[in-house]
Amino acid sequence: MLTFGLLLTVGVFFWIYFLWSRRRLYMLHAKVPGPLGLPILGIAAEYLILNKRKMTTRTKYLDMYGSTVLLWVGPDPFVVTRDPKIAEEVLLSSECINRSSHAADAIARSAGDGLFTLKGPKWIERRKQMNPTFKHNILLSFLPIFNAETKTLVSLLDTYVGHGEKEILNDIVRWSFRIATQTTVGTDIKHEENFKNDTILRSYQSLLQLMTMNVLMPFTQNKIISTLCGYEDQRMRAASNIQKMITKILDKKLNSKPEGTSQPEINSVINRAIELFRNGQIPYEHVQGECSSIVVAAFETTGLTVCHTLTLLAMYPQYQDTVFEELKDLFPTAGDFEVTYEDLQKMVYLERVLNETLRLIPSVPFAPRETLQDFRLSNGVLIPKGVTIGIDIFNTHRNPEVWGPDAAKFNPDNFLPDNVRDRHPYAFLPFSKGKRNCIGWKYGLMSSKLALAKILRNFKIRTSFRYEDLVFVDNIGMKLAQSPGLDFQRRT
C-alpha cells in the first residue's frame, strides 16, 4: 500500500511538472482560438481517421474560429493561418526561416540533407550557393528537354483519342519525372535501365509516400516503430535504388576533368553541387542529397499542376476554348512544334488559367515554419520558441475575406492585372514567398506552360466529372481523393 501511494505521489508530481513545463503552450491557446480536441490526441483522430486528411478539416476550424487558429495534433500545438498579413510576417521573418522539424526530418530521412532540410545560417549559405542553378540562361538551356519529353507525352495522349475518359495522372507525373531528373543530373540518365523501366520513378514515389506519413504522423519516424511496421525496409530499398543511380552518375562526373577552369560548369544541379564539393564547400553526401531532394521537389508538384489544370479546363470548356484560340494564333498548325521562351511570354491567358489552378489546387497546400526564438505577431500574440506556424496555402487562396464570396469558384479573371494589383501580395503564394520561397518556381511555371501549350493546342479535353464533386486531400503534394478521367479529341 505504501509503495502504491509513493508511486501515485511521484506520478502526480511528474504530471504537474509536465503541465508546468508546457504552461506557455497553454497560455498560447488562451490567446489563439481553436478546438481542444481529444486528450493527448487533439484533432489527430478526426483529421487522420474520420476525415482521411481532407482539407475540409482545417477549413471548418478556420471558418469557425477565425483566420488564425491553434490546432492540437497529438500533444503538439500548431498555429495555422490563412491571413495574408500574418503569412507575410512569418515568411519574411528571420526567426521563422526554418521548416518545421517534423517536415525537415522526414525529407532528410528519405532524400538526404540539402537545401530543403538545412536550417538557419547553413540554409542561407546553401541557398546562395545553389541560386546560380536556376538563373534565366540555365532555364533556357532546359527548353530542348521540355520540348522533347512533351512531344513524347503528346504522342501517348494521342493514343487515347476515341477511347473515352482516361486517368492520365500517372502519365503526366512520368513526364514530369523525366524532365526533372534530366535537368537535375543530366541527360545521361536516359541510358540507365532503372530509369527506362521506371524503377527509379517508383522508388521516388515510395519515398514521397513515406515522407507524407512521417510528416503527418511523426511517431513513424521512430526507428523501432518504423522497423516493426515495415516502413524502414521500404525506405531503405527505395533510397538504395536512387542512391546507386546518383552515385554512378556522380562518380562518372567526378572522374572526368572539368571542361573549363575560368567558369564552373553549372548547367544542372549536379554540376553545381560537384563544383561546390570540389571546392570543399559541401560534403559528398550533400551532393547526393541536393540531387535527390531537387527531383523530389520538382517532379510531383509540376506533374500535379499540369494534370489539375487540364482537369479544370475540361470542366470549364469556355475557358479551354479561349486558351485554344490564344494558342492557335501562336501555332497555326497542330502536331509537333517547338515552343520557345518568346512563345511562353505570349501565353497571357494560359498563364492566368495556370495561376487560377494553382490558387484553387496549390501543388503544395501547407508551408510549416518553426520559430527559432519567441516570435510576436503584429496582433500582439507571442508564439513561443519551437512552435510551428503553418501557412495554410490552400485556405489562404480561398479566404473569402480576400477573394470574395466566390472564392471557391474557378475564374481566371482573378488574375487580370487590376485584380492582382488590388490584392494583398501574400494572398497568392503557390510557391511560398519571402526568405524561403521555392528556388525552382520559374522552372515550374515554364515547364508547365510549355506542356499545357502542346497538349491544349492538339486536343480538346472533356470530362463528366463535376468540379463540385472534387475532394481535396492534404498531402506534401496536393492530391484529389479521386482523379477525374479525361476524354481526348484531336484539334486541327
Domain boundaries in the chain? 82-490
Place of cell 494583398: 424
So what's the pLDDT on residue 86?
Answer: 96
Banded pLDDT at 228 (limits 50, 70, 90): confident
Please choose, from the candidates 159, 160, 197, the residue with its C-alpha nearest in 3D space to the C-alpha of residue 178. 197
Chain segment 138-162, per-residue pLDDT in tens: 999 999 999 999 999 999 999 999 9
Q: Cβ contacts of residue 483 below 8 Å, gap of 6+?
A: 167, 169, 307, 311
pLDDT at 18: 66
pLDDT at 71 over 90: yes
Give the pLDDT of residue 290: 92
Average pLDDT over residues 471-479: 89
Picking from 140, 132, 131, 113, the residue whose alpha carbon sits closest to that of residue 265 is 132
Q: Is the pLDDT of residue 212 over 90?
A: no
Which residue type sits at 250? Answer: L
CB atoms < 10 A from the CB of 464, how many? 12
What is the percentage of the chain residues whose pLDDT exceeds 70? 96
Is residue 73 over pLDDT 70?
A: yes
At residue 259, the pLDDT reads 52
* pLDDT beyond 80 at 6: no
Q: Which of 123-132, 212-221, 371-380 has the lowest mean pLDDT?
A: 212-221
The reported pLDDT for the residue numbered 264 is 43
Give the list of residues 6+ apart from residue 383 with CB closer than 8 angstroms, or none: 28, 79, 371, 374, 375, 376, 377, 389
Residue 485 half-sphere exposure, CB side, CA atoms within 13 Å? 8
pLDDT tens digits, residue range 397-452?
Answer: 999 999 999 999 999 999 999 999 999 999 999 999 998 999 999 999 999 999 99
pTM of the predicted model, to two decimals?
Answer: 0.92
Full 3-state SS string of 345-408: HHCHHHHHHHHHHHHHCCCCCEEEEECCCCEECCCCCEECCCCEEEEEHHHHCCCHHHHCCCCC
Residue 101, pLDDT above cutoff 60? yes
* 180-208 pLDDT tens trace: 999 999 988 998 999 999 999 999 999 88
**List of residues 6+ apart from 296 with CB closer than 8 A:** 107, 110, 111, 116, 204, 207, 208, 211
d(CA 144, CA 298): 18
pLDDT the model gives residue 28: 86
Whether 258 shows a pLDDT value over 60: the answer reads no
pLDDT value for 19: 64
Is the pLDDT at 472 greater than 80? The verdict is yes
What is d(CA 277, CA 251) in angstroms, rounded to the nearest whole number?
12
Q: How confident is the model at residue 261 (pLDDT cuts 50, 70, 90)?
A: very low
| SS3 label, residue 315 | helix
Alpha carbons 446 and 345: distance in angstroms, whole number? 9
At 42 the pLDDT is 83
**Region 248-265 average pLDDT:** 69
**Rounded to an integer, what distance in angstroms lies between the CA atom of residue 215 and that of residue 481?**
19
Work out whether the CA dihedral 337, 341, 346, 352 comes out positive or negative. positive
Chain centroid offset of residue 32 CA: 27
Angle among Cα 413, 416, 422 to the nearest 5 degrees reads: 110
SS3 for 390-429 is EEEHHHHCCCHHHHCCCCCCCCHHHHCHHHHHCCCCCCCC
Tell me what pLDDT residue 5 has. Answer: 75
Residue 347, phi then psi, degrees to nearest 5:
-85, 70
Using the structure block, give the residue that is written with the C-alpha cell 525506405. Answer: 235
- Angstrom distance (rounded) from CA 215 to CA 118: 16
82-490 has CATH 1.10.630.10 classification: yes
Dump pLDDT digits (tens) for 13-52: 776 766 676 778 888 888 999 998 887 788 888 888 878 8
- Looking at every residue in the chain, the average pLDDT score rounds to 91
- For 322-350, write each residue's pLDDT tens digit: 999 999 999 999 999 999 999 999 999 99
Asked if pLDDT for residue 307 goes beyond 80, the answer is: yes
> Rounded to whole angstroms, how far apart are CA atoms 335 and 457?
8
Of 220-224, 264-268, 428-432, 433-437, the range with the lowest mean pLDDT is: 264-268
Q: For residue range 105-123, list pLDDT tens digits in order.
A: 888 888 888 888 999 999 9
